[in-house]
């Protein structure tokens, strides 16, 4: 499982956790999120995320 960070606001999407409050189950890979998915914090598009290494 990987983590992805929004380069605009710093929100981290953790594939292992998902976003259960938003209907995204734990274990959902970033690549599997819909193309129109946006950052829940700032509304930036999926393209604004990079692989998080930390």
pLDDT one-digit tens code per residue, 30-47: 999 999 999 999 999 999
Question: pTM, whole model, 2 decimals?
Answer: 0.93
Residue 54 has what pLDDT? 81
Domain covering 1-28+49-54, topology: Rubrerythrin, domain 2 (2.20.28)
Residue 35 corresponds to which tokens in the numbers above? 């193309």
What's the first-to-final CA gap in the chain, in angstroms?
A: 14
Domain ranges of the chain: 1-28+49-54
Indicate whether 53 pLDDT > 90.
yes
Element (H, E) at 49: strand 49-51
């Amino acid at each position: 499982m990987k983590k992805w960070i929004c380069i605009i606001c710093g929100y981290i999407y953790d594939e292992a956790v998902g976003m259960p409050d938003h209907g995204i189950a734990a274990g959902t890979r970033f690549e599997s999120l819909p193309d129109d998915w946006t950052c829940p914090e700032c509304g930036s598009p999926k393209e604004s995320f990079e692989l998080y290494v930390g």
